[in-house]
Amino acid sequence: MKGTVIYKHSQGSGLAAIVLGAFAVWLGYLVYRSHQPGPLAPLTVLLLAAVLFWRLTVELDDEFIEVRFGPGVIQKKWRLTEIESCGPVRNRWWHGWGIHWIGKKTWLFNISGLDAVELCMKDGKTFRIGTNEPRKLSDLIQGRLRQSAP
């Protein structure tokens, strides 16, 4: 982010942390009981996933909107000048969480819940950013878009 931060919000995934934690404990128990290192590979993958996806942070400044998972290794940034429009939306439950395609042209970035802000880009692509503050984020982005309009 370059300019002054207008909005910054982080959303955690409590359910994912509980599920990953329980599975990690179970795998740890298997390693302990079997005295074999076999389950260490899946345990390592789970711990890495937990570190990378435990939080989703959304940041908005004068030029960009950015989403970052966990410590920021996985991130995506858009210039506000590339956005045609935006608005709050509600994802279907089967859209799930994580980073993936939904539909034919929409990328989803979500960690918890069903609420999101949909960004419709000038090039026809669509992105959805999961948030528990969809109206607030959408209003702030729309305000920035109006200010930058000629």
Question: pLDDT means per 10 residues in the chain (150 residues)?
Answer: 84 73 77 72 75 88 94 93 96 83 89 93 96 96 84
Same domain, 112 and 127: yes
Among 117, 122, 123, smallest CA distance to 138 is for 117
Host domain of residue 29: 14-50
115: CB partners within 8 A, 6+ apart: 88, 89, 90, 91, 130, 131, 132, 134
Same domain, 98 and 142: yes
Same domain, 39 and 101: no
CA distance 119 to 101: 14
Same domain, 42 and 115: no
pLDDT of residue 1: 54
1 in any annotated domain: no
29 in any annotated domain: yes
pTM (predicted TM-score): 0.80
143 in any annotated domain: yes
- Residue whose token pair is 């959304």: 58
Same domain, 60 and 101: yes
